[in-house]
Amino acid sequence: MKILIIGSGPAGYTAAIYLGRSGHQPIIIEGLQPGGQLTTTTLVENYPGFPDGIDATQLMDNMRQQAINCGAQIVPNTVVETDLSRQPYTITLDDGQKFTTPVLIIATGATAKYLGLHEEQKYKGLGVSACATCDGFFYRKKIVAVVGGGDTACEEATYLAGLANKVYLIVRKSYLRASHAMQQRVFDNPKIDILFETNVTSLYGNEALEGLKLIHRKGEPDQSTSELAVDGLFLAIGHQPNSELFRPWLQTDEQGYIITQGITPLTNLPGIFAAGDVADPTYRQAINAAASGCRAAIEAERYLQSCI
Ligand code: NDP
């Protein structure tokens, strides 16, 4: 039976590997960014099985090839419309091609929010990152800045303080939005300096990032500007789950993450499973995404069995 998987990150590929091996013909709609978010980083050192780390693009190419070897068909296209009002569900691609399927695995991931400064793209992978767990290791004994005042920013600043010599936490408001416990960890850490009421206006550097231009108390009578030399800039201003196409039919939380039942990938619709970051506001790690892709494949298989 053909099963449609939307998304080509670790969740989508893992689901395809499992479904292919159990005799189905998974079709992966690859999307705009084949390989998913991981392809925006360089070396992956926290994915088990690679003692010396592995190039992120290589890791995703390996997963893709493994899915193909297990029988997956890859469709290099993007979904532009869905009709999940009835089974079989209908998916429309941007070339007008339509697929119908009784079983759908949604693994469309999430997108880190960036500030919108054009230099962010220039220094991506050369000092700018949106994942401290992925890239923090490259900033051992260096100076880094984290932008954001929520739990993610505090968690990332604390994590980076374990590696870097100095961490600046750049917060646009005069207070942190993070939970009390998380704030306390930041306040108690002597390596972290908090710059409240501060925004980043631009980034500078030659080949790689060398520093930030900042504005303090923007719009106030005592507004001022400064420069801050840093080796790394980590954005922690939230993620956007890629769930827009499904929101008319699937239950999502207030941030748009697809709600699944407990640790299962089951959504509120029969035969539709969500895996990876699109349903994970908390952990957002490739290994978790892969594991949830496995769970989605197993549940899809069980669902098909129950329909016979
Ligand atoms: P949040 O939305 O909670 O926080 C985003 C932060 O980024 C805010 O401080 C916000 O500022 C700031 N921000 C947003 N846009 C900009 C911008 N353009 N320029 C500067 N600053 C900006 O996102 P998080 O990722 O921190 O958390 C998401 C959810 O995940 C939360 O519910 C959180 O509790 C949860 N979480 C829980 C963890 C845990 O319990 N261990 C760990 C990590 C996350 P402002 O306050 O001014 O809007």
Task: Give the CA distances from residue 242 to residues 36, 133, 208, 226, 257, in Å, rounded to whole numbers and listed in that order.
Answer: 11, 21, 30, 36, 8
pLDDT at site 40: 66
The per-residue pLDDT for range 260-297, each reduced to its tens digit, is 999 899 999 999 999 999 999 988 889 999 999 999 99
The per-residue pLDDT for range 172-228, each reduced to its tens digit, is 999 999 999 999 999 999 999 999 999 999 999 999 999 999 999 999 999 999 999
pLDDT at site 224: 98
How far does the centroid of ligand 1 lie from the alpha carbon of residue 280, in Å?
15
Q: Mutate which of 111, 168, 170, 172 to test ligand 1's pocket (most atoms within 8 Å of Cβ)?
A: 172
- What pTM did the predictor assign? 0.77
Q: Is 198 in the pocket of ligand 1 (CB under 6 A)?
A: no
Q: Is 66 exposed, middle or buried (0-12, 13-18, 19+ CB in 10 A)?
A: middle
Mean pLDDT of the residues in the chain? 95
Active site residues: 131, 134-135
pLDDT at site 141: 97
Please give the Cα distance from 82 to 167 (Å, whole number): 44
**Nearest Cα residue to atom 14 of ligand 1:** 237
Please give the Cα distance from 267 to 13 (Å, whole number): 20
How far does the centroid of ligand 1 lie from the alpha carbon of residue 178, in Å?
7
Are 195 and 217 within 8 A, CB to CB? no
Over residues 297-301, mean pLDDT? 97
Q: Which ligand 1 atom is at minimum distance from the Cα of 113?
A: 15
User: By three-state DSSP, how is residue 196 classified?
Assistant: coil
pLDDT at residue 1 tops 70: no
